[in-house]
Amino acid sequence: MTRKRLIKNASVISEGRRIQADVLFDDTILAVGHNLPADKDTIVTDAQGLTLIPGLVDVHVHLREPGREAKETIATGTAAAAHGGFTTIFAMPNVLPFPSKPETAGPYRDLLEEKGLVRVLPYGTITLDEAGKTPTDYKAMKELGIRWFSDDGVGVASKEVMRQALEQARKADVLFACHTEDMAYRRPGASVHDSPAVTSRGWLGIPSACESAQLIRDLDLLKETGGHYHTCHVSAKESVEALRQAKAAGLDATGEVTAHHLLLEDRDVRGPMWKMNPPLRAHEDRMALIEGLESGALDFIASDHAPHTEEEKCQPMDKAPFGIVSLETAFPLLYTEFVASGRWSLEQLVNWMSTAPAGRFGLEGTGDIRPGYRADLVLIDEARPGVIDKRTFLSRGSNTPFDTWPTACTILETVSRGRTVWKDTGTEKKGS
């Protein structure tokens, strides 16, 4: 049984507001209040001057294991999550073998639970082996506790297959998280946004319609079928508008945006470390993403953590794989850009990185600091600046465009289910 712990005198983000409070917990939160008592067996930490937030929730992570362990493992990926303040992550299903059937999904679920330093929840695939031909048996997968499905990395090309999948998903009452990409819009070797800011350097462009056309198709199908639909890593202003209209029409549709699409745009691209799918788009797209998040057209933030080996990422732009690592950089970078600047409150950022994704994905007792909830907590120092240093990453991947970027806060400790899973030992406060 987890030993009781009392964190005293913290600035606590609880139920959408900032309060000065003590938090008592074991594996769940027992009390939030003032001058909470502690018996002789309770570990007491004085957090005066520090901030306590709920553990972050990331619904879009590539752990690579099994099948691609040279890029990442469950152990290294979840250590990176803990380092970045994430206590619940969802593992994308493009692993080998694909978790498309109970006989592969069951062992995969068990492997994630066995090796994960934080809580890891598995996606099943929308179509068998992400082949885009046959919908997965969602009811059978749900009996294993898998209620979320994605073919991330590829879009479902066939309109008829997608219609069948949506109809069956509605009957099974499960959630789709869709990577929308119509390959008819993408030429071989294309690697950046289709704009002169980057194509003038000789790189082939990917137009916004590659993402938005399939999203619009899916939302039209959703009108016919009903069900629960979520779209991954929105990058284009047209996609934001499509989601806004879908919500106005009463569809159960949500969308996520990544930290890198909120922070960077096409003119920032310097080479393969800036290559991601969907690509970094134009300034007006980035502004539409920020405004879309603030207005509710978009719902929350995810990382799309995508580790690769150094050798892979050092290839020419057209051959290097898409993706960057994000688990260890997302929160401090977004805090710096938006909270420290005064545009967002910390309460807003916590909602978009914890409470809202937990709510959308049906994680009861997760995403807030209140009695009865999981003791998933992150202690941060808002007064201590830092710097992104890829040499300190716990991920097996170091493919990031943010190396050496300054940050305005520091994560001091991450607690998952009452257990410390990461701690900055150089910043321990006396009496801890």
Residues 236-271: tens digit of each pLDDT:
999 999 999 999 999 999 999 999 999 999 999 999
Please provide the average confidence, as pLDDT, over all residues in the chain: 97
341 and 202 both lie in a single domain:
yes
32 and 63 both lie in a single domain:
no
219 and 148 both lie in a single domain:
yes
Across 56-70, 154-168, 169-183, 417-431, least confident range: 417-431
In the predicted model, is pLDDT for residue 225 greater than 80? yes
**Number of structural domains in the chain:** 2
- Cβ neighbours of residue 13 closer than 8 Å, sequence gap 6 or more: 51, 52, 53, 54, 346, 347, 350, 369
Q: What is the 3-state secondary structure (H, E, C) of the chain?
A: CCCCEEEEEEEEEECCEEEEEEEEECCEEEEEECCCCCCCCCEEEECCCCEEEECEEEEEECCCCCCCCCCCCHHHHHHHHHHCCEEEEEECCCCCCCCCCHHHHHHHHHHHHHHCCCEEEECECCEHHHCCCCECCHHHHHCCCCCEECCCCCCCCCHHHHHHHHHHHHHHCCEEEECCCCHHHCCCCCCEECCHHHHCCCCCEECCHHHHHHHHHHHHHHHHHCCEEEECCCCCHHHHHHHHHHHHCCCCEEEEEEHHHHHCCHHHCCCHHHCCCCCCCCHHHHHHHHHHHHHCCCCEEECCECCCCHHHHCCCCCCCCCCCCCCCCHHHHHHHHHHCCCCCCHHHHHHHHHHHHHHHCCCCCCCCCCCCCECCEEEEECCCCEECCHHHCCCCCCCCCCCCCEECCEEEEEEECCEEEEECHHHCCCCC
236 and 94 both lie in a single domain:
yes
Residues 34-63: tens digit of each pLDDT:
999 999 999 999 999 999 999 999 999 999
Residues 191-201: tens digit of each pLDDT:
999 999 999 99
Q: Is 304 a catalytic residue?
A: yes
For residues 124 and 164, give the distance between their C-alpha atoms in angstroms, rounded to a whole number. 16
pLDDT band at 230 (very low <50, low <70, confident <90, very high): very high
Residues 208-217: tens digit of each pLDDT:
999 999 999 9
Rounded to an integer, the average pLDDT of 398-426 is 96
294 and 157 both lie in a single domain:
yes
Q: Which of 304, 368, 376, 381 is catalytic?
A: 304
345 and 244 both lie in a single domain:
yes
340 and 196 both lie in a single domain:
yes
Residues 121-142: tens digit of each pLDDT:
999 999 999 999 999 999 999 9
44 and 77 both lie in a single domain:
no
pLDDT band at 425 (very low <50, low <70, confident <90, very high): confident
283 and 328 both lie in a single domain:
yes
331 and 379 both lie in a single domain:
no
CATH assignment of the domain containing 229: 3.20.20.140
244 and 211 both lie in a single domain:
yes
Residues 94-106: tens digit of each pLDDT:
999 999 999 999 9
In the predicted model, is pLDDT for residue 187 greater than 70? yes
Residues 338-364: tens digit of each pLDDT:
999 999 999 999 999 999 999 999 999
